[in-house]
Amino acid sequence: MLVLVAPGQGAQTPGFLTPWLDLPGASDRVAAWSDAIGLDLVHYGTKADADAIRDTSVAQPLLVAAGLLSATALGTFAAGAAGSPGAVAGHSVGEITAAAFAGVLDDTAALGFVRTRGLAMAEAAAVTETGMSALLGGEPEVTVPHLEKLGLTPANVNGAGQIVAAGTMEQLAALEANPPEGVRRVVALKVAGAFHTHHMAPAVGTLQKAADGLTVADPTVTYVSNKDGRTVATGADVVARLVGQVANPVRWDLCMETFQQLGATALVEVCPGGTLTGIAKRALKGVKTVALKTPDDLDAARALIAEHTTPAV
């Protein structure tokens, strides 16, 4: 069974959208999305520097646009169609991309919602100087109490020996000076705030108002929520979780447990891929993976999809 996944913030790099815009119709599509949400996605995806695309209000729509564009390039993902994934999921903002994959939101609605999300989270992040750092290695039962002692939140529990801590810059500096036992490295992430913590609580109300105006459908494929790794059957529940997740931890470790329970044999990560496939290689032994970084990766992804999905009848 194929799982299609979308990465979260921090996966973006300068110019990463450039080769994708050479695909037929891609430039026009992204330009139309840009007009719809009032943000020049073409500029930010091709010419902007690392600092510009680190801005939460820019990075989040850019990531969703890239995910939708690269998934479309793979082919159709309608329920029951050839190459349809058995399940979809996203890490942090990637959940909005996954919601579009599952038919819960159309592409324009997904991009409008993520534009609101990015702006609201950027505003919340401006209140206090905060950030996030990835801890590589260590055991959760040792790491989590250590983080809590420092006043930090285990904002992303990713599995495969990786937890992401979030909090104030002073708290993160204390963590770097005094990492938990067993942690090999503490790596500052390219994000502009302590996402998935209480620091983001002001954004929840804004997102709820935006969610109230959405036209929502039930998922057409199995949708796995990063709140708790559970599958979600209704569009209303998916959207409610999208609203709440900005101020609550991401449990990607539980998502991967669900992938295993569902019988996953292959995982494709949409552009800008690499982070989630890297985790999967360590945590999902025997599951084949492909990360979409440039259009050059499409053939390998299509071959994997053909091998691990049931042809349409």
CATH number, domain containing residue 264: 3.40.366.10
Active site annotation includes 70? no
Which of the listed residues 166, 188, 210 is the one where a domain comes to its end?
Answer: 188
The answer to whether the CB of 1 falls within 8 A of the CB of 264 is yes
- Average pLDDT over the chain reads 93
Active site annotation includes 199? no
Interval 208-232 mean pLDDT: 96
Q: 154 with 233, same domain?
A: no
Give the integer Cα–Cα distance in Å for 17 and 65. Answer: 9
Interval 206-233 mean pLDDT: 96
Q: 117 with 8, same domain?
A: yes
Q: 202 with 105, same domain?
A: yes
Q: 140 with 233, same domain?
A: no
Q: Read off the pTM.
A: 0.93
DSSP 57-117: HHHHHHHHHHHHHHHHHH----TTSTT--SEEEESTTHHHHHHHHTTSS-HHHHHHHHHHH
CATH number, domain containing residue 154: 3.30.70.250
> Do the domain assignments include residue 112?
yes
> Do the domain assignments include residue 36?
yes
The answer to whether the CB of 27 falls within 8 A of the CB of 42 is yes
Residue 197 identity (one-letter amino acid):
T
Q: 239 with 293, same domain?
A: yes
Is residue 90 pLDDT above 50, yes or no? yes
- Residue position matching structure tokens 């259009």: 295
Q: 119 with 219, same domain?
A: yes
Q: Categorize the per-residue pLDDT at 313 as very low, low, confident or very high, splitting at 50, 70 and 90.
A: very low
Q: Categorize the per-residue pLDDT at 191 as very low, low, confident or very high, splitting at 50, 70 and 90.
A: confident
8-state DSSP, 226: T
Q: 46 with 117, same domain?
A: yes
Over the stretch 17-30, which tens digit does the pLDDT of each residue have?
999 999 999 999 99
Active-site pick, 196, 199, 225, 308: 196
Interval 128-139 mean pLDDT: 92
Over the stretch 193-212, which tens digit does the pLDDT of each residue have?
999 999 999 999 999 999 99
Q: 148 with 10, same domain?
A: no
Instruction: Mean pLDDT check: name the lowest of 72-81, 143-152, 263-272.
Output: 72-81
Active-site pick, 34, 57, 84, 92: 92
Number of domains observed in the structure of the chain: 2
Give the per-residue pLDDT at 135: 95
